[in-house]
Chain A
């Protein structure tokens, strides 16, 4: 039966690769119909993101919030609570840390400022995640509905803070005053222009992975998520654990928002929800709720997005179409049963071969 586990692992990789191949093939077929130069477009889509160090750097920068939001959703996903509040936490945490940063100014060194703002972001996230979590627990209000509704409210709150307390009247668009240099994360890797936020993201990947697989809390959380009735019957506090996991997930979404502002912006200038919370869910699905795989999921999503940008600026097809291709790719990668018939036949063959050889050796 060891063989069975091996086949399951190998087929996982085959499935993803085949999914990608089919998605690009479908894209190519559609492009033939609507573009003058379909092969060029597809090539741009696949290879464009790697065509310059700057673009590779962009992939990494884009992957930073994806990673942190993906980790955030890993917590929600682990306990099977689809608390989607991360979407607005990301925005409000970015807003609040900008506000705090502006208030502190350049009086603190970066080594103090950055951790401080990350902690504030985390607190904002935990406090906001508390609302849907407690309503789910005490009022039996569906956590998906509550968190989605709250997202709208919180996004407006962030916008209100921006307009009435932080807005810089000296610029042509809606944005805050410029943040102090002590909270603007420096670039690394020279030409690639990668923000050092990637280091923060990777540190959190390590911390969350250890939390999931090496700590007692992580074990509890995974058992609760896998079978809550079983968890209750063996004496785990199912409600408490799923509650704590949601707060931790919220805190990480807060860290994500804070990191994104410090890594990629000089002002807080989001006037609408950014979609990062939902991207986080996507990453968590791609990573199969395993924090160790989150960087891969995040980099993949970032690569597809940058590919779309490249095509958008250099090709003759509309942006909306790029979203369609993205959708197909992600769908096929996430579809767990894709090729399962093929996998089952492989398992069947290997078991039979095993039995035959067992018979032979007798």
Chain B
């Protein structure tokens, strides 16, 4: 076995809300190793890495780097000790060049001033050393997501990182960019950097990692050689039961059109078209998936459909009526339900009780009121308790503030509201982002079941390719505000083909998409 470069021994972390994120976790990695850290969301992976990177402190446990016990007080300290971290959300200054971003904090100086030339030289050197293809003089704002990620990795490397933490690095990448990243990770490994690879995507873990450590509910389930495992075994370790990675569903029987989008256009404040002539129809009983690299108009489309934003031209017809100029309330009354992209922003009010959050869309309706202005507390309590039970929300009771729950349970509060609002059109934007596998599975199955049994029409926007491919019946691809591809059967599309359309390598003509919109 390779020499151990890092050991985290008996780590216990309890958050101020009483949530025990890590319980006596022990975790070690060797030199020249790509080591996967997997677990459901809320299993404590990110917390463990934040402790290693000095962003959180722990109540118990110790950290050994190269056999020496270290106390890591803050991220600067972690960097000094050779630990680098690439976060899920990039921390870059978009208006500065690659070289300036990379050398931030270790700026080369000449005569007391920043030496831009030297910065470019240093950056280019380290990029070449690890075979990263980036232009050190380019502005970060002009880079693609994949390139920005390289800049993030370079930032860690230039400071001498020997242990590199990557928190779900492939979540934002296209399949092609992912391949490139893997090549670079192999290069890094061979030149002596140990990589900790946090991921949900088990096939990636199987491909690139030599070892895998599994966390479940904050506890370490052990470290294994990947060659001894397969995906099913890992997922069993993660959730303690077999997760059906495939969703069994019968063929859709689309009936009448419920949602019709006609040549929809929306412009941003700079006059650029963010939705550029989108047309498609969704019928009762079918799930239409929308894939695409993030930032290609999906969020904007979702805002329009949810009534949160106006549009410039074209029309959206819901259940036979245009939604132009209608308030969110009116659109919801016409049959729309909305699972928001970011649950803490649009999905819940964190300080409010579970009850108020579940009932937020309906408590002001007539049948939840008494004597005109008072809320019918008894009826509301009864229904909330029923929904908590139906959706298996683990909590202390209906009055507990939502912020005290785990991510998956917060999302259950959101879907308990949106799935039971009586809507026949469900707009699900990233419905399972960042939540545990069990809850994600429940949400996906419910989406499919509602379409088959109740005939709801669903628009599913997701960056998780596995999710759109598994859940959707028809699949559309959005790029630069346009629908650039349409497939009649989502589960027959390969991720590679999808990636080519998402990246704009291929594009369908309107004739090819005829009948599929």
Contacts and interface: CB of A to CB of B under 8 A. Distances in A.
Interface stretch (A111-119, A200-208, A342-350): A342-350
Contacts of B17: 4, 347
Contacts of B364: 216, 219-220, 236
20 contacts: A4-B18, A5-B396, A5-B400, A215-B373, A216-B364, A216-B369, A216-B375, A217-B373, A219-B364, A219-B375, A226-B349, A226-B350, A227-B352, A230-B346, A234-B417, A235-B328, A236-B364, A352-B14, A352-B20, A355-B23
A308 B135 CA distance: 69
A351 interface: yes
Interface in B309-333: 327-329, 331-332
Contacts of B340: 233
Question: Among the interface residues A1, A2, A4, A343, which one has the most CB atoms of the partner chain B within 10 A?
Answer: A1
A227 B338 contact: no
Contacts of B373: 215-217
Given A214-B377, A230-B346, A235 B361 contact: yes
B306 A233 contact: yes
A237 B361 CA distance: 11
B356 interface: yes
Interface string B301-313: 0000011100000
A12 to B, nearest CB: 14
A235 B332 contact: yes
B431 interface: no
Contacts of B351: 226-227
Interface of A: 1-5, 214-217, 219-220, 222-223, 226-227, 229-237, 340, 343-344, 347-348, 350-352, 355
Contacts of B377: 214
Contacts of B332: 234-235
Contacts of B280: none
B1 interface: no
Contacts of B20: 351-352, 355
Interface string B337-371: 01010000111111110001000110110001100
B404 interface: yes
A214 B349 CA distance: 19
Contacts of A219: 356, 363-364, 375
Contact of B404 (A4, A216, A235): A4
A215 B327 CA distance: 23
Contacts of B363: 216, 219
Query: How many residues of B sit at the interface, in one of the four size bands?
Result: 35 or more
Contacts of B328: 232-235
A241 to B, nearest CB: 10
B41 to A, nearest CB: 19
Given A233-B306, A234-B328, 8 more contacts: A4-B404, A219-B356, A227-B350, A231-B349, A235-B328, A237-B329, A347-B18, A351-B20
Given A5-B400, A350-B18, A351-B14, A215 B348 contact: no
Interface in B397-418: 400, 404, 417
A138 B410 CA distance: 35
A356 to B, nearest CB: 11
A233 B375 contact: no
Nearest to A344: B16
B111 interface: no
B59 interface: yes
B374 interface: yes
Contacts of B374: 214-216
Ordered nearest first, which 8 A-B pairs have the shortest CB separation? A4-B18, A235-B329, A227-B349, A226-B349, A233-B346, A235-B328, A344-B16, A234-B361
Contacts of A233: 306, 308, 328, 338, 340, 346-347
Contacts of A232: 308, 328, 346
A214 B369 CA distance: 10
Contacts of B417: 234
A343 B363 CA distance: 35
Contacts of B23: 355
